Amino acid sequence: DAGVIQSPRHEVTEMGQEVTLRCKPISGHDYLFWYRQTMMRGLELLIYFNNNVPIDDSGMPEDRFSAKMPNASFSTLKIQPSEPRDSAVYFCASSPPGYSNQPQHFGDGTRLSIL
Amino acid sequence: GQQVMQIPQYQHVQEGEDFTTYCNSSTTLSNIQWYKQRPGGHPVFLIQLVKSGEVKKQKRLTFQFGEAKKNSSLHITATQTTDVGTYFCAGDSGGYQKVTFGIGTKLQVIP
C-alpha cells in the first residue's frame, strides 16, 4: 500500500518567493497533519484537518502560512512570501479514524531551503 | 498548553550497552505514543501505551507508562548500530487525535 506521499522532496528558492508543498494522505485516513521540524524547535504541529476541515491552526507561525485540503486525497501548505527562517523539513502525516489517538503515518518530508 | 519534556536530548553509547529515554508531561495523558526517526528519514510509529502502569515489549525495546500517566520511558537492551536514530514520545491529553511531540532523544551507537 502507498504511504503518505509528499512533493517536492527538496525545494530551494529565494526569499520572497511563494512555496507550495503538497501531500497525499493514505486512503481511508481522515486526519491530516502538517509538521515543521528544525534542530532548535523539534517537531512542531502547524495545522491539522479532519475530514478536510481545519481543526486547529494555532501552530501556524503567521499569516504568511496557509493550508488547504480541497478533498480527502490532497492537501497543500503554502508560504508566501518565504523567508530564510522558514528553512526546515516539513512533514505531512495522516491517521485513520478512531475514538482515541491513532498512529500517525508520516511522509518522507520536504526539505525546504530559503536563500 | 500541554508540554512534553524528554531527556536526555543526546546519548552516545557503546554497542551492547543499554539505553533509556524519559518523557514527562505537564498534564495527565490519555495515552502516549513512541516514534523512531532514522537519520534523514521520517518518524515511524513504534507503539502506543494507554493504561496506567502499562509495560510493553518489542524485542529489545521496553516501553513503560507511569502509574500517574504523566511519564513514560523507552529502554533498549544491548544496543545495536541499527538502533541509531532519534526517539520521540508524543503525548495526548484527550480529544481530536492531536499529540504533542517531545524534543526527542538522539541516540548514537558506537561500534
Report the pLDDT value the prediction gives residue B1, as an integer from 0 to 100: 64
| CA gap A22, B78 in Å, rounded | 40
Residues of A in contact with B104 (CB under 8 A): 42-43
| CA gap A104, A94 in Å, rounded | 6
Report the pLDDT value the prediction gives residue A1, as an integer from 0 to 100: 65
User: Which member of A103, A108, A109 has the closest CB to residue B45?
Assistant: A103
**Cβ–Cβ contact B38 with A under 8 A:** no
Nearest CA in chain B to A103: B45
C-alpha cell at B98: 492531536
CA distance A43 to chain B (A): 6
Question: Binning pLDDT at 50, 70 and 90, where does residue B65 land?
Answer: very high
Residues 6+ apart with CB under 8 A from A55: A48, A49, B96, B98
Do B98 and A107 count as a contact with CB atoms less than 8 A apart?
no
Average of pLDDT values for B39-50? 96
Mean pLDDT, 10 residues at a time, chain A of 115 residues: 93 97 96 95 93 92 94 97 97 90 95 97
| CA gap B111, B15 in Å, rounded | 5
Average of pLDDT values for B33-62? 97
Q: A12-16, A60-64, B9-13, B15-19: which range is least confident on average?
A: A60-64
- Give the 3-state secondary structure of A13-57: ECCCCCEEEEEECCCCCCEEEEEEEECCCEEEEEEEEECCEEEEC
Q: With CA atoms as reference, report the closest residue to A21 among A62, A57, A74.
A: A74
Report the pLDDT value the prediction gives residue A100, as an integer from 0 to 100: 76
| CA gap A64, A19 in Å, rounded | 10
C-alpha cell at B47: 507503539
pLDDT over 90 at B84, yes or no: yes
Do B45 and A105 count as a contact with CB atoms less than 8 A apart?
yes
Nearest CA in chain B to A34: B98
Report the pLDDT value the prediction gives residue A114, as an integer from 0 to 100: 97
Average of pLDDT values for B19-28? 95
B99 - beta bridge partners? none
Q: A12-21, A92-101, B47-56, B58-67: which range is least confident on average?
A: A92-101
Q: Most A CBs within 10 Å: which of B23, B37, B97, as the mutation test of the A interface?
A: B97
- Contact criterion met (CB below 8 Å) for B32 and B87: no
**Cβ–Cβ contact A75 with B under 8 A:** no
**Cβ–Cβ contact A90 with B under 8 A:** no
